[in-house]
Structure 1
């Protein structure tokens, strides 16, 4: 589905950022609305739409398993990414795989807390080829509770996406916690949505959090 082009407001990056796929990139800023379905038996269930409420992605979750699992789907329910949380880790490490796989050869990237104790959000992202994990490929910084976070390249200074609060009476009535994400030009918006899903999970208030 072609996304509508908003008015240009960000200069495209010198080098496109793509991890999930080049089909999830646009030469203009992409505005996405992510809404969590609060009144559901399945935890971590989201819809991702454009500003005209066309569904771009779905996120489905399950709490009835040993490992927390999430799946990013296209509008036809075809799996794009699978999320697996590693248990017994101090940094809330999530691993993201292509499709429905959990095979090491299909691992795309890993996300973890930069430090165990945090007052604000600070996550490091390592692509699968970055095995020593000394320098992250991406960083996520900000305040999840204020829905104000920025995603950077690993240098920590080049922004590629921003998250903003989007509260409305209708979203509360429908049982949805909605927020907006602006993905900068030539940036893989499926990748950014995956970051936001993990960001939500790391900040979720669950028993047994580190």
Structure 2
């Protein structure tokens, strides 16, 4: 069965909801702010400063959780890090659920040794642990990443990382998302990527 298409023949990559897919490229600015040692907030805004998504994060019993909401504060998904896993695995569920039937996808570091950082993304229907559905791959430097579906680039993230901003608990980065791609899904991947970058520093 072929993937559904938006206008202009653009195939949909819909993981969270169809209405997060638009038939044109979009660009977002992500602002991250640390509040103390364990509390973190993200805001996802367009280039004009309009809020689209927000993420509230905390840590409890050594486990990190990040809850993504829309601009009105309605919970969309929950990202939970699995404790004491060597590949820093994250499970992402719909809403605020943790039930198996509400699992949207999982993310983990690649097991294989590679010169560039790589995260693998698996959908619940994927029973082949050797072949991921999506990949997040470091390109050129640790401040530029691409998200792939197979061989196709679906999004790019450019970190404007400086030690000065990091020490102040503030970080900004820009994200470009290709037409027809679920931007809530992409933003969840970027939040998890950001948490993995921190682990690597």
TM-score, shorter chain, exceeding 0.5: yes
CA distance in 2, matches of 1:172, 1:63: 19
* Residue 202 of structure 1: how far off its partner (Å): 1.4
User: 1:95 touches 1:111 (CA, 8 Å); kept in 2?
Assistant: yes
Q: CA deviation at 1:174?
A: 7.9
How many residues get paired?
192
Which residue of 2 is the match for residue 102 of structure 1? 98
Give TM-score scaled by structure 2 length: 0.85
Please give the alpha-carbon distance, in whole angstroms, between the structure 1 residues aligned to 2:175 and 2:71: 18
CA spacing shift, 1:33–1:84, aligned 2, 3 Å: same
**2:154 is the counterpart of 1:187:** no
Name the CA distance, whole Å, in 1 between partners of 2:187 and 2:166.
22
CA distance in 2, matches of 1:34, 1:144: 21
1:93 counterpart residue number:
89
C-alpha distance in 1 between matches for 2:33 and 2:140: 17
Deviation per residue, 1:26-57 (Å, 9 max, x gap): 11111011111035454342111111111111
Corresponding residue of 1:31: 27
Structure 2 Cα separation of the partners of residues 59 and 65 of structure 1: 20
The runs of at least 4 consecutive aligned structure 1 residues that moved more than 4 Å come to 39-42, 116-119, 171-175
CA gap 1:70/1:13 in 2 versus in 1, 3 angstroms: farther
Normalising by structure 1, we get a TM-score of: 0.81
Q: 1:23 to 1:90 in 2, by over 3 A?
A: same
In the alignment, structure 1 residue 19 sits paired with structure 2 residue 15: yes
State how far apart, in whole Å, the 2-side matches of 1:66 and 1:144 are. 33
RMSD of aligned alpha carbons: 2.6
Distance in 2 (alpha carbons) for counterparts of 1:143 and 1:101: 34
The residue matched to 2:194 in structure 1 has which SS?
A: helix
Bigger mean CA offset, 108-117 vs 137-146? 137-146
Are residues 1:161 and 2:155 paired? yes
More strand by share: 2
Note the residue ranges of structure 1 that are not aligned, 5 or more in a row: 1-11
Displacement after TM superposition at 1:15 (Å): 2.1
Describe the shift of the 1:136–1:24 C-alpha distance in structure 2 as closer, same or farther (beyond 3 A).
same
Whole-Å separation in 2 of the counterparts to 1:144 and 1:128:
31
**Structure 2 CA distance, aligned partners of 1:40 and 1:66?**
15
Alignment of 1:128 with 2:127, yes or no, is no
